[in-house]
Amino acid sequence: MDVGCIMSLLRPSAIYNFVTSYPALRWMPCQSWGFLRWPGLDGFLRLMVVGLLWSTFSELRFIPSSSMFPTLRVGDRIIVEKLYGENTETVFIKRIVAKAGDAVEVHHGVLYVNGVAQQEDFIAQPPTYTIPLTTVPNDHVYVLGDNRNNSYDSHVWGPLPMKNIMGRYVTCYHRPTNI
Protein backbone atom coordinates (compact mmCIF):
# COMPACT_ATOMS: atom_id res chain seq x y z
CA MET A 1 0.00 0.00 0.00
CA ASP A 2 2.82 2.40 0.83
CA VAL A 3 4.47 1.64 -2.51
CA GLY A 4 1.30 2.74 -4.30
CA CYS A 5 1.35 6.07 -2.48
CA ILE A 6 4.95 6.70 -3.46
CA MET A 7 4.22 5.84 -7.08
CA SER A 8 1.27 8.20 -7.16
CA LEU A 9 3.56 11.06 -6.09
CA LEU A 10 5.85 10.35 -9.03
CA ARG A 11 3.12 10.74 -11.64
CA PRO A 12 3.06 14.08 -13.49
CA SER A 13 0.95 16.72 -11.77
CA ALA A 14 -1.86 18.65 -13.44
CA ILE A 15 0.36 21.74 -13.64
CA TYR A 16 3.12 19.77 -15.39
CA ASN A 17 0.60 18.34 -17.85
CA PHE A 18 -0.73 21.84 -18.56
CA VAL A 19 2.75 23.32 -19.11
CA THR A 20 3.87 20.54 -21.43
CA SER A 21 0.63 20.44 -23.42
CA TYR A 22 0.02 24.19 -23.79
CA PRO A 23 1.58 25.15 -27.18
CA ALA A 24 2.93 28.58 -26.16
CA LEU A 25 4.81 27.09 -23.20
CA ARG A 26 6.49 24.17 -24.97
CA TRP A 27 9.73 26.11 -25.47
CA MET A 28 10.32 26.41 -21.71
CA PRO A 29 13.60 24.76 -20.67
CA CYS A 30 12.07 23.49 -17.43
CA GLN A 31 10.11 20.82 -19.33
CA SER A 32 13.28 18.82 -19.23
CA TRP A 33 14.96 19.08 -15.85
CA GLY A 34 18.30 18.42 -17.56
CA PHE A 35 19.32 22.04 -17.09
CA LEU A 36 19.77 21.28 -13.37
CA ARG A 37 22.46 18.67 -14.05
CA TRP A 38 26.15 19.39 -13.47
CA PRO A 39 27.56 20.65 -16.78
CA GLY A 40 30.45 18.18 -16.83
CA LEU A 41 33.85 18.73 -18.38
CA ASP A 42 32.43 20.41 -21.52
CA GLY A 43 30.54 22.97 -19.45
CA PHE A 44 33.53 23.53 -17.19
CA LEU A 45 35.77 24.24 -20.19
CA ARG A 46 33.20 26.69 -21.58
CA LEU A 47 33.11 28.45 -18.22
CA MET A 48 36.92 28.68 -18.21
CA VAL A 49 36.95 30.18 -21.75
CA VAL A 50 34.30 32.75 -20.78
CA GLY A 51 36.28 33.64 -17.64
CA LEU A 52 39.50 34.02 -19.62
CA LEU A 53 37.84 36.24 -22.25
CA TRP A 54 36.15 38.30 -19.52
CA SER A 55 39.42 38.96 -17.70
CA THR A 56 41.22 39.73 -20.97
CA PHE A 57 38.73 42.20 -22.44
CA SER A 58 36.98 43.78 -19.47
CA GLU A 59 37.63 45.08 -16.00
CA LEU A 60 35.56 46.07 -12.98
CA ARG A 61 36.21 49.55 -11.57
CA PHE A 62 35.07 51.63 -8.59
CA ILE A 63 34.18 55.36 -8.89
CA PRO A 64 36.14 57.19 -6.14
CA SER A 65 35.25 60.83 -6.92
CA SER A 66 32.39 63.02 -8.09
CA SER A 67 34.12 64.23 -11.28
CA MET A 68 31.55 62.42 -13.48
CA PHE A 69 28.49 63.34 -11.38
CA PRO A 70 25.54 63.13 -12.18
CA THR A 71 26.26 60.38 -14.77
CA LEU A 72 28.35 58.33 -12.32
CA ARG A 73 28.22 58.72 -8.55
CA VAL A 74 30.80 58.08 -5.86
CA GLY A 75 30.74 54.37 -5.05
CA ASP A 76 29.33 53.20 -8.39
CA ARG A 77 30.87 50.05 -9.75
CA ILE A 78 31.31 49.95 -13.51
CA ILE A 79 32.43 47.59 -16.26
CA VAL A 80 35.18 48.89 -18.53
CA GLU A 81 35.99 47.36 -21.91
CA LYS A 82 39.79 47.25 -22.04
CA LEU A 83 41.41 48.66 -25.16
CA TYR A 84 45.01 48.32 -24.08
CA GLY A 85 46.66 45.79 -21.79
CA GLU A 86 48.10 48.23 -19.29
CA ASN A 87 46.50 48.01 -15.87
CA THR A 88 47.40 51.18 -14.01
CA GLU A 89 46.38 51.92 -10.47
CA THR A 90 45.39 55.55 -11.10
CA VAL A 91 42.57 55.73 -13.63
CA PHE A 92 40.42 58.72 -14.54
CA ILE A 93 36.93 58.21 -15.96
CA LYS A 94 36.19 61.11 -18.33
CA ARG A 95 34.08 61.96 -21.37
CA ILE A 96 35.87 62.51 -24.69
CA VAL A 97 34.58 65.83 -26.04
CA ALA A 98 36.99 66.36 -28.96
CA LYS A 99 39.36 64.30 -31.09
CA ALA A 100 42.57 65.10 -32.97
CA GLY A 101 42.25 68.15 -35.20
CA ASP A 102 39.22 69.60 -33.38
CA ALA A 103 39.27 73.14 -31.99
CA VAL A 104 38.01 73.33 -28.39
CA GLU A 105 37.15 76.34 -26.27
CA VAL A 106 34.99 77.14 -23.25
CA HIS A 107 33.62 80.58 -22.48
CA HIS A 108 30.48 81.93 -20.78
CA GLY A 109 29.77 78.42 -19.45
CA VAL A 110 29.49 76.79 -22.88
CA LEU A 111 31.74 74.23 -24.56
CA TYR A 112 32.48 74.91 -28.23
CA VAL A 113 33.93 72.24 -30.52
CA ASN A 114 34.93 73.52 -33.97
CA GLY A 115 32.96 76.70 -33.26
CA VAL A 116 29.69 74.86 -32.53
CA ALA A 117 28.12 75.18 -29.06
CA GLN A 118 27.57 71.72 -27.56
CA GLN A 119 24.21 70.80 -26.03
CA GLU A 120 25.20 69.14 -22.75
CA ASP A 121 22.16 68.24 -20.70
CA PHE A 122 24.17 65.60 -18.79
CA ILE A 123 26.56 67.95 -16.94
CA ALA A 124 26.09 68.92 -13.29
CA GLN A 125 26.40 72.65 -14.00
CA PRO A 126 27.94 74.90 -16.66
CA PRO A 127 31.69 75.42 -16.33
CA THR A 128 32.80 78.55 -14.49
CA TYR A 129 36.25 78.50 -16.10
CA THR A 130 37.44 79.64 -19.52
CA ILE A 131 39.52 77.61 -21.97
CA PRO A 132 41.15 79.58 -24.79
CA LEU A 133 40.86 78.17 -28.30
CA THR A 134 42.92 74.96 -28.31
CA THR A 135 43.51 72.64 -31.26
CA VAL A 136 43.77 68.98 -30.24
CA PRO A 137 47.06 67.55 -31.60
CA ASN A 138 47.35 64.27 -33.54
CA ASP A 139 47.05 61.12 -31.41
CA HIS A 140 45.36 63.10 -28.61
CA VAL A 141 41.81 63.65 -27.34
CA TYR A 142 40.24 66.32 -25.14
CA VAL A 143 38.46 64.90 -22.09
CA LEU A 144 36.21 66.56 -19.53
CA GLY A 145 34.32 65.27 -16.51
CA ASP A 146 30.54 65.73 -16.37
CA ASN A 147 30.97 67.64 -13.11
CA ARG A 148 32.88 70.33 -15.02
CA ASN A 149 33.74 72.54 -12.04
CA ASN A 150 34.96 69.65 -9.87
CA SER A 151 36.96 67.53 -12.30
CA TYR A 152 40.68 67.04 -12.86
CA ASP A 153 40.71 66.79 -16.65
CA SER A 154 41.93 68.38 -19.90
CA HIS A 155 40.96 71.87 -18.77
CA VAL A 156 43.74 71.46 -16.18
CA TRP A 157 46.37 69.31 -17.97
CA GLY A 158 45.55 69.79 -21.66
CA PRO A 159 44.87 67.21 -24.39
CA LEU A 160 45.31 63.56 -23.40
CA PRO A 161 47.56 61.26 -25.48
CA MET A 162 45.58 58.37 -26.99
CA LYS A 163 48.13 55.90 -25.57
CA ASN A 164 46.89 56.82 -22.07
CA ILE A 165 43.34 55.64 -22.77
CA MET A 166 42.87 52.35 -20.96
CA GLY A 167 39.35 51.45 -22.06
CA ARG A 168 35.75 52.39 -22.65
CA TYR A 169 32.92 52.61 -20.14
CA VAL A 170 30.31 49.90 -20.78
CA THR A 171 27.79 50.05 -17.95
CA CYS A 172 27.24 50.65 -14.27
CA TYR A 173 26.51 47.29 -12.65
CA HIS A 174 26.04 48.46 -9.04
CA ARG A 175 24.92 51.76 -7.57
CA PRO A 176 24.94 51.93 -3.75
CA THR A 177 21.61 52.99 -2.30
CA ASN A 178 22.97 54.48 0.95
CA ILE A 179 24.89 57.34 -0.72
Which among 111, 99, 86 has a CA at the least distance from the CA of 162? 99
Catalytic position from the list 66, 67, 82, 99: 67
Q: Is 94 assigned a catalytic role?
A: yes
Q: Is 158 exposed, middle or buried (0-12, 13-18, 19+ CB in 10 A)?
A: middle
Q: Is 82 assigned a catalytic role?
A: no
Catalytic position from the list 65, 94, 151, 163: 94
Question: What is the spatial distance between Cα 18 and Cα 14, in angstroms, rounded to a whole number?
Answer: 6
CA distances from 141 to 71, 86, 101, 111, 172 (A): 20, 18, 9, 15, 23
> DSSP letter at 154?
H
Which residues are the active-site residues? 67, 94
